[in-house]
Structure 1
Amino acid sequence: MLRFTRHRASFLYCGVAPIGLVLASLASPASAQDTQTATPPAADTSAQDTEEAPVQDIVVTGSILKTDTATPSPVTTITVENLDQRGISTTQDAIQSLSANNGPALTNSFSANGAFAGGASAVSLRGLSTNSTLVLFDGMRAAYYPLADDGTRNFVDLNTIPDDIIDQVQVVRDGASSTYGADAIAGVVNIITKRQFKGLTGRVEGGISERGDASQYRLSLTGGVGDIDEQGYNAYLSGFYYRSEQLFNRQRPYPYNSDDLRNVCNDGTCGPNNVIDGLDGDGNYPGFSANTTNLGSTLYVAPFDSAAGVAAGRYQMLNPGVGCPRGTAYDLSAGDLADNPLAPTTVCQEDLTQNYGVITPEIERFGFSGRVTAKVGDSSEAYGELNFLQTEVSYDGLPSTIRGNAPAPFYFPRYSTSSNIAYYGNNTILQLPVYVCPRETQGACTAANGTINPNNPYADQGQTAAVIGRLPNLTEHNESRTRAYRFAAGIKGDLSDRWSYNFNATAMHMDLRRKNTGYVYIQHLLDVVADGSYNFLDPSANSQDVLDYLAPTAQATSTSDLVQAEGTVTGDLFELPGGPLQFGAGVSVRYEAVDSPSINSDINGGTERYYRLNGFATKGHRTVYSAFAELNAPILDPVSVNLSGRYDRYSGGLDNFSPKVGVKFTPIQQVVLRGTYSRGFRVPSFGEADATFPTTGYVTASRGIYPDSYLAQYGCTSEPNDYNTNCPTYIRNASYGLTTLGNPDLKPEKSRSWTVGALIEPIPGVSFTADYYNIKKTGAISAPNFAPAIAAYYTGQPIPDGYTVIPDAADTGTPGALPRIAFVQAAFINANTIKSEGLDFSASVDLPITNGFRISSQAEASYILKLSTTFPDGTVERYDGTLGNFNLTAGSGTPKWRGYWLTTLDFDDFRLSGTVNYMGGYDLSAMDQGGAYKDCGLSDGSVPCRVDDYVTFDLTAQIPVTDKFTFYTTVLNVFDDLPPLDPVTYGAHLYNPVQGGTGILGRYIKAGAKFSF
């Protein structure tokens, strides 16, 4: 929070760090404030000169009142200088590094691993997800990202921040619905742009990893004229360009670059070999499964028994002359063949992660901003601001699939060998028919009107062929292009010597173009199979026209709009013993809309869609009318009370009142005690209430969801060694889809939160803060807990009401066993209670040592005491310190600790900063995946039950060559410490993308120059 002494502003640092870091910072003199920022060296602020400094009125995020004192709410502030000291290039990266950001944050790197809202970045304060943190621009709302996180959670994309005109970012770390309305449950991030800029400044920066990859570039230029106070106006223009290159798993060392985890071992237990058709830990071929081999890029065929719905003989390479397009051939031994009646004599061992895995996508951003600010009359000031940003994110995927999730149950047609007529049955193996006919042929294709299928080696015997594998000459590619247009204008001034007004308006439009190539269109696949136009024998011989027909470009444009106008009046009512009684009131109206059509709708039938593209769609709009007020009462000199409240009315009939009370007590000048209590709310998102097509999220099936009674059908148990050695890849490599259905009758989520804390300044330039927060959400919107339905299916019990469980295709190796789950479906409900409580700490020291030299040090940390969900049946799931909420976080979990410690040595002509980044470890368990709290239930034993803490060290040097030119260089992750191994998290391969962050890049070197005239 910004803390101000009575006559002179002195910024206090508020942050987060483990206790050891807080204590250690005492060894390094620095200045402090309840902000997360390092302040520039300033004149001495000792008591003898404070009476001469002018009073500075400010507006702090979370309040509509001007104040020259600290507010009861804890507020973190990030400045441009703080970013430079830490070597952080973008405001998006800075917000992601907040210690209070935890759990289901959405990072840019997750875009390359199947995120629903690919191409976007979002913050999740307190582990309460992206939809419970409100992001503002200059105190006004911004348009939602057009594609919701997981198809349900509306959020503001941090990539739309115009970095080079940012003055600071303020983060309110408690509930703020009483000021801003919906979504401000866990806190508020307010991005504040520069009021004015004079002169010309620019920046050139480049970076590359020590391994010679993951390069990035940044260019910016800002110019402005005029002085508001002296000339009555200021105008500036700013533009920037940023690019970072795609990084592949194969560019990182083992085991991050491979699916073969046999050398990842712990206490004698080693990981599985998930390479397609790879050998087990003993060098044996563990078993052939069409379900797993299907994932490779080699095509295999087998004669098909249409009556039984299974392969009738051994698979073989469709074209042995082509061999293994990617991977290594392995000739099965006689023993291997005897144990695997369907296995081909030669298989292709293909490592998908090595060949195709992507760590970070390619990102290209550019934009421009302009602002004009001018005095109006003697006491008013008006401004107008325009921003445009474009972000393109792209990444490569896997070879194109000819068998997979649509993402809805779809069964390939089965052919009668006597008539060659297709009919649909319970089978997902694609078949090559005996005869092929021109596409315009009506009726059945027979010997009378067709020709023998050249792709089917069994056609001469009148036998259809089951074909598995991926198409080696087609690769999936994903692109998103976001354009954000924003205009804001406002005027503020004095109504009298005691009252002032402020009016602001903003309009923002976003359009998101999603473009996907290389995804097979199901009906077109059936077409080219039926007419023989696709050459399966030699895929490289297919013309571009055939490939374009088989995998036409999927493209959709989604839009999001926001228009808001807000006016406030504030002033002093009368004097109290501690100062003036301040009052403020305002009204607001806003319109928001999202139109996100499906890129993969089944409106024309189950075959008129693509494999592997999610079909989610939503469309909705609403108008919100609001009135709010705030009262700040300094009852006594050491005690002040702040009261605020807001009423919101939605066009759909929903309404809510959000009150808040804050108390600040200053027993002595060096100590401030503070506390707040508030109520807030979150309205159902457009995806939750208005989804026109449901969303399906795919979850990797963990060992913990299978009971031993179920695994016994497959000849194994859940014991780690036995599971890794004897369970077929059909089980080990399983994933299932969680399909959630929209519900227009949902009610708003309600929240109550309270904080208590202390800010201590024992001497000028030294500050400590500690705050406790407690947040409770009731009526939380979610799908019902899927675990009971999953457990009921695998134990043979009736499926609970409200759920639908859809089985997958049976394992060809054990066709009589109960199939694994393909999909679980349920509708959103208001049901759950979510609780989050924890502690924030900070310490900051900034004291001069000698003339021309000072040392400053700041540390901050957040500790989550407990994060849990209580379901309607009383079941409680606890997530802190584990991978839970697994479904919500993509298995990235909720580490308890997060923090950093920044120390700067500041000389007259040189500045050296070192930053220790810390994120705690966690247990490989998740209660929403079955099992108990911290039971290590998701571990396969190949790594310890607890994933290690992750600590990295960054070093930045700034060298002012002249007064107008500064050279700087940064080494991130100086000791080249890659993230700790995590074989469970599915947002990245073998590490946690939130915990690992940019650490997976390894030692990374950036250099740049800043100039100003």
Structure 2
Amino acid sequence: MKTITKIGLRGGAALQALTLVGAGLAALSAPAFAQDAAQGAGSDEGDVIVVTGSIIRRTDAETPSPVTTVSVESLDRRGISTVQEGLQRIAANNGPALTNSFSANGAFAAGASAVSLRGLSTNSTLVLFDGMRAAYYPLSDDGTRNFVDLNTIPDDIVDHIEVLRDGASSSYGADAIAGVVNVITKKNFKGISGRVESGISSRGDGQQYRLSLTAGTGDLEENGYNAYISGFYYNSKQLKNNQRPYPYNSDDYRNICHDGNCGPNNVVDGLDGDGAYPGFSPVVTNTGSNFFVRPASALTGTQSGRYQILNPLAGCNPLTTPYTLTPGELAATDEDGNLINAAAPTTVCQEDLTKNYGVINPDIERYGFSARFTARVGDSSEAYAQFNFLQTNVGYDGLPSTIRANAPAPFYFPRYSTSGNVAYYGNNNILQLPVYVCPRGTTVACTAANGTLNPNNPFAAQGQNAAIIGRLSNSIEHDETRTRAYRGAIGIKGPINDKWNYQVDATAMHMDLRRKSDGYVYIQHLLDVIADGSFNFVNPAANSQATMDYLMPTAIATSTSDMVQVQANASGDLLDLPGGPLQLGFGVSFRYEAVDSPSINSDINGGTERYYRLNGFAVKGDRRVYSAYAELNAPIFDQLEVNASGRYDRYSGGLDNFSPKIGVKVKPIKEVLLRGTYSRGFRVPSFGEANATFPTTGFVTNNQSLFNDTYLAQYGCTVATFADCPQYIRTGSYGQTSLANPELKAEKSRSFTAGNLVEPMRGLSFSVDYYNIKKTGAITTADNTPALQAYYAGLPIPAGFNVIEDVPIAPGDPRTPRVAFVQSGFINANTIKSEGLDFAANIDMPISDGIRWSSSLEASYILRLETEFPDGSVERYDGTLGNFNLTAGSGTPKWRGTWTNTLDFGNFALSGTANFFGGYDTSAMDQGTGYKDCGLNDGSLPCRVKDYITFDLNAQVKVTDQFTFYANMLNVFDKLPPIDTITYGAHAYNPVQGGEGILGRYFRIGAKFNY
């Protein structure tokens, strides 16, 4: 069997394509990087192939389903260094994709990269290696979505990638709702080849390096065997925000203006756009790397007066800027006449955290090796064995270490009283330094009788506590992940007779992920050094390394993921029809999957025996899957082919599913192909959704709609006068804890496609494909509003919810406390719809002797992406920043496309590519706005973030038959991404739209050899 490798780029026409055409006329580029597998099949007529999404061997690649083929050689010509980067640039890949840059911005699945077709998130796109499944990344995306990490692809043994842009559960089972990415490795290699490559931006940063070497021997036809080994090394340096111009390097958005409206000054410790001191009204949330203190009663914990810098002699940290508030700023009031800067110090230390510490891209180091042995068995069968190892190290620096933050568990700072009692206050979430300190190990109350005045507390002599806020100026949070992936595969295939063939494959993959975090404060150790006075808050730099290590011990956790799969199938001809043989394929499969990801920040020993700011999520689970599948292909006559397939999957937990699919291909004339499919699919609940052992919690600010007058009357206010309620009520937050639910059912999908492919002449083709996907029973978190409203109304809590009360506003206060946490399990509830169009246009023809021109255009347009909730309400996301829950605010642009042109002179090729990423409205219905109403915009931005077009150039010179030199310039016009201060996956730009563009103009040079 031979698999056809095409070179070309699926392209697109229609309205927005005109923009791409205009940009691309300047482009002279590499051979197209991807194209529909159906195009050009005639050149390989007679070869027997298997196309992704089918188990039947055929002599043409034109199937009812649209399949895009990505050639590694063409990625090289486009200047794309890794397969991971190439997949991220597929037009059908959209907002919920997980890019490497997310690792530097606190992503749940730090260190990983994943593709998301059709805007349906990473868990609805199936990634395969040579038609077999791969192990999930040990950490889930957002703690819920299983996915395959694209960084585990061994680039230099990849032959090509086939992207099936259609549902394929009938062939592959769960997760293949939006499509399938099938990474196909080299089957044979003879000789020695390698490459050396280096890259750097025009600003002298963002360095990348790549080395590889592959050696093989033997020929299947002549020697009966082939064996090769391959190794590679890749390194990409960390890129920081201060290495890019404004506003990507600053929290101060006052120079971002639109129609006279400018953004706020979000500089921590500075003044916001309204002249208020952020963090001091209404709640102190100062997080600067300077310590400020404020007097607090040692009896009640009540704070008073203004904050002041703890060490006035040292002044502001060198990385911060002193600023003295004006009389007007000190006297500023809100609409109710309350001082908004009542607690602010007269002099603040303005600090731009993004400028000082922000990271755009992490350090990435990848290396690995692969080996494959293929041998002829008997006269006509073929067996193989393959092994891959790949290690990926990702690291990035964070913010200064914090001594105060929301812990991912119920915890409040203690208030130490002069009587030695310790109380925990829900409304006292500011750390307080006590009046007296005692030696560690003291088991009785620390008072004047057995303690000394606290050297860190400037108010101790007056018998007052010191409320303290800030970050450590001499310590930085740092995170590292080390992923090791081991994969082995064996298989055999061959003919049973002259009409039937068999194939048996087995694979096993193990991943271990070590997470290491430094610079995070351990809560109990913080309480220890506060109680005994051993930590110097006045001069943090004076602390010994042993003291720093005690306060911030290194956190390490190792997670694993395993996958074992065995499958066998047979296919052949049943009888002859007018259009060709009626073919049948059938097979069986067994799969074992397991994930064991312990928490790096577990509360098993109590709420204080853990770290601030580290995620507490944990999951452990395993399952076995038994499957049977079949496919029937009927060329009824020359102009009509019908394909039907189905798969039954049975899970060890009791879930089962049947997934049918039918496709039709019609060729009314030789130059026109019409195609369409209808299928049913499913997604099994992830381990995080069904088996999490430590749940995820998100904190939400109280909303006055949750309360009622009867409850608020206890606190002297009403819903109408909510602004007059105590801070305890008005600004409090509650934790939304999502619990695993082992009773979840599988999500079900219905999808259909319809399209055409037109080839009016050799070397020229056009295609349009429509897709429509509907996913029902989508797994989501429950709406906690009924439980909250019931609690505050004094009614029974609805079934399925658990409400945990906060501590009272003060010790012994009889009033009903606010809510601290609402716990509820995941449920099958929502309906998600995705609808859109894919376009393609390809040209490949000679223009004179020795000169050939090729041009390919690929574009994808999302017509509609929406979620319908059980109450009938609908949130629509296409063309906006939604769905925040899936995209981290990177949105769902309607258009994405690429146009590639090539002039090939034989030994010299000049290449150019125009990349288009559509703009979007600054609204998101899942954040409470209307559809495209600009609702998330503060007026400093246009309502619509601009379209983003970049242009790449590449040149290749074939010096000899064995040696090729290449150079490329990415983002030729140095266009940085459009400004977007709303998305939070990156700073001031969209990480999916501008993930590569933020590098600016970028140069790569390299050489390839082949002997």
- Asked if TM exceeds 0.5, the reply is yes
Contact 1:14 1:32 in 2 (8 A): no
Aligned pairs for 1:823-842 within 5 A? 825-842=823-840
Q: 1:210 to 1:496 in 2, by over 3 A?
A: same
Q: Look up the match of 2:320.
A: 327
- Aligned-partner SS, 1:231: coil
> Which stretch has the larger CA shift, 402-411 or 911-920?
402-411
Give CA-to-partner distance per residue, 1:858-887, whole Å, 9 cap, x none. Answer: 000110111111111111111111111112
Tell me, yes or no, if structure 1 residue 980 matches structure 2 residue 971: no
Q: Distance in 2 between matches of 1:794 and 1:201?
A: 70
Q: Structure 2 residue aligned with 1:967, among 960, 965, 968?
A: 965
| Aligned alpha-carbon RMSD (Å) | 3.4
Q: 1:286 to 1:593 in 2, by over 3 A?
A: closer
Aligned pairs for 1:639-718 within 5 A? 639-697=640-698
Aligned pairs for 1:205-216 within 5 A? 205-216=197-208
Q: Look up the match of 1:722.
A: none
Q: Distance in 2 between matches of 1:759 and 1:292?
A: 62
Q: 1:13 to 1:542 in 2, by over 3 A?
A: closer
Q: Look up the match of 2:336.
A: none
Q: Look up the match of 1:172.
A: 164
After TM superposition, give the deviation of residue 775 of structure 1 in Å. Answer: 0.5
Tell me, yes or no, if structure 1 residue 221 matches structure 2 residue 217: no
Q: Structure 2 residue aligned with 1:1009, among 969, 993, 1007?
A: 1007
After TM superposition, give the deviation of residue 23 of structure 1 in Å. Answer: 6.9
Q: Which amino acid aligns with 2:682?
A: F
Contact 1:435 1:447 in 2 (8 A): yes
Contact 1:3 1:10 in 2 (8 A): no
Q: Look up the match of 1:454.
A: 455
Q: Look up the match of 1:19.
A: 17
Q: Structure 2 residue aligned with 1:783, among 781, 784, 791?
A: 781
- Aligned-partner SS, 1:523: helix
Q: Look up the match of 2:758.
A: 760
Structure 2 unaligned runs (5+)?
333-340, 708-717, 811-815
Q: Distance in 2 between matches of 1:491 and 1:174?
A: 28
Q: Which amino acid aligns with 2:608?
A: T
Q: Structure 2 residue aligned with 1:62, among 53, 57, 60?
A: 53
After TM superposition, give the deviation of residue 703 of structure 1 in Å. Answer: 15
- Aligned-partner SS, 1:987: coil
Q: Distance in 1 between matches of 2:491 and 2:156?
A: 21
- Aligned-partner SS, 1:94: helix
- Aligned-partner SS, 1:527: helix
> Which stretch has the larger CA shift, 821-830 or 899-908?
821-830
Q: Distance in 2 between matches of 1:710 and 1:99?
A: 49
Q: 1:486 to 1:277 in 2, by over 3 A?
A: same
Tell me, yes or no, if structure 1 residue 913 matches structure 2 residue 906: no
Q: Distance in 1 between matches of 2:792 and 2:80?
A: 48
Q: 1:23 to 1:745 in 2, by over 3 A?
A: same
Aligned pairs for 1:468-867 within 5 A? 468-697=469-698, 738-785=736-783, 825-867=823-865
Q: Structure 1 residue aligned with 2:66, among 71, 74, 88?
A: 74
Q: Distance in 1 between matches of 2:629 and 2:32?
A: 26
Q: Distance in 1 between matches of 2:933 and 2:785?
A: 16
Contact 1:13 1:767 in 2 (8 A): no
After TM superposition, give the deviation of residue 343 of structure 1 in Å. Answer: 2.1
Q: 1:580 to 1:638 in 2, by over 3 A?
A: same
Q: Which amino acid aligns with 2:102?
A: F
- Aligned-partner SS, 1:888: helix
Contact 1:499 1:572 in 2 (8 A): yes
- Aligned-partner SS, 2:770: strand
Aligned pairs for 1:182-331 within 5 A? 182-280=174-272, 288-289=280-281, 291=283, 294-306=286-298, 308-325=300-317, 326-331=319-324
Q: Distance in 1 between matches of 2:467 and 2:919?
A: 46
- Aligned-partner SS, 1:60: coil
Q: Which amino acid aligns with 1:629?
A: A
Q: 1:401 to 1:12 in 2, by over 3 A?
A: closer
After TM superposition, give the deviation of residue 16 of structure 1 in Å. Answer: 3.9
Q: Distance in 1 between matches of 2:789 and 2:949?
A: 38
Give CA-to-partner distance per residue, 1:671-717, whole Å, 9 cap, x none. Answer: 100000110111111100010010135789999999xx99996699x
Give CA-to-partner distance per residue, 1:366-386, whole Å, 9 cap, x none. Answer: 000000011011010000000
- Aligned-partner SS, 1:229: coil
Aligned pairs for 1:40-59 within 5 A? 55-59=46-50
Contact 1:705 1:929 in 2 (8 A): no
- Aligned-partner SS, 1:549: helix
Q: Look up the match of 2:351.
A: 350
Contact 1:705 1:930 in 2 (8 A): no
Give CA-to-partner distance per residue, 1:18-68, whole Å, 9 cap, x none. Answer: 4326877998999999982499x99xx9x9xx7xx7611101000001111
Q: Look up the match of 1:147.
A: 139
Q: Which amino acid aligns with 2:841?
A: A
Q: Distance in 2 between matches of 1:810 and 1:431?
A: 18
Q: Look up the match of 1:815.
A: none
Q: 1:22 to 1:525 in 2, by over 3 A?
A: closer
Q: 1:712 to 1:959 in 2, by over 3 A?
A: farther
Q: 1:32 to 1:541 in 2, by over 3 A?
A: closer
Q: 1:147 to 1:889 in 2, by over 3 A?
A: same
Q: Look up the match of 1:421.
A: 421
Contact 1:704 1:931 in 2 (8 A): no
Aligned pairs for 1:349-428 within 5 A? 349-417=350-418, 419-426=419-426, 427-428=428-429
Q: Distance in 2 between matches of 1:896 and 1:788?
A: 35
Give CA-to-partner distance per residue, 1:506-536, whole Å, 9 cap, x none. Answer: 0000000000011111111000100111111
- Aligned-partner SS, 1:59: coil
> Which stretch has the larger CA shift, 929-938 or 272-281?
272-281
Give CA-to-partner distance per residue, 1:759-816, whole Å, 9 cap, x none. Answer: 110000001110000001111111135688899999999998766788999999xxxx
Q: 1:279 to 1:714 in 2, by over 3 A?
A: farther
Q: Distance in 1 between matches of 2:178 and 2:353?
A: 39
After TM superposition, give the deviation of residue 736 of structure 1 in Å. Answer: 8.1
Contact 1:34 1:74 in 2 (8 A): no
Give CA-to-partner distance per residue, 1:197-222, whole Å, 9 cap, x none. Answer: 11111111111111111111111111
Structure 1 unaligned runs (5+)?
717-727, 813-817
Q: Distance in 2 between matches of 1:593 and 1:205?
A: 37
Q: Distance in 1 between matches of 2:263 and 2:876?
A: 27
- Aligned-partner SS, 1:171: strand
Q: 1:351 to 1:702 in 2, by over 3 A?
A: farther
After TM superposition, give the deviation of residue 331 of structure 1 in Å. Answer: 2.3
Q: Which amino acid aligns with 2:353?
A: L
Contact 1:276 1:293 in 2 (8 A): no
Q: Distance in 1 between matches of 2:703 and 2:59?
A: 55
Q: Distance in 1 between matches of 2:137 and 2:212?
A: 25
After TM superposition, give the deviation of residue 945 of structure 1 in Å. Answer: 1.1
Q: Which amino acid aligns with 2:933?
A: D
After TM superposition, give the deviation of residue 322 of structure 1 in Å. Answer: 2.1
Q: Distance in 2 between matches of 1:543 and 1:229?
A: 69
- Aligned-partner SS, 1:396: strand
Q: Structure 1 residue aligned with 2:151, among 139, 152, 159?
A: 159
Q: Distance in 2 between matches of 1:293 and 1:21?
A: 46
> Which stretch has the larger CA shift, 854-863 or 696-705?
696-705
Q: Distance in 2 between matches of 1:711 and 1:997?
A: 45
After TM superposition, give the deviation of residue 996 of structure 1 in Å. Answer: 1.1
After TM superposition, give the deviation of residue 448 of structure 1 in Å. Answer: 1.8
